[in-house]
Structure 1
């Protein structure tokens, strides 16, 4: 999931009345997305290793 898509989700939540700052919420979500992608890549590499 790209940061842009996450930003649009937070903008929608803000427009729906949840009063979240889309820019700040996106900035806080990016590290979690990066960790998720890193874990996924490590799992794929582990599952496809020849050891």
Structure 2
């Protein structure tokens, strides 16, 4: 799964968690965006194309 698909799956979950806690979802969405972009740093998250 690439980073765009990961972010698309996790964004509604992050918004739901923020709504259930009664807080602004912006920080949760930023955490999803940073986590998706930092997946490149992990060996399992890096997809080498040939």
Q: TM-score, normalised by structure 2?
A: 0.48
Bigger relative contact order, structure 1 or 2 (CA pairs below 8 A, ≥6 apart) = 2
**TM-score w.r.t. structure 1 length?**
0.47
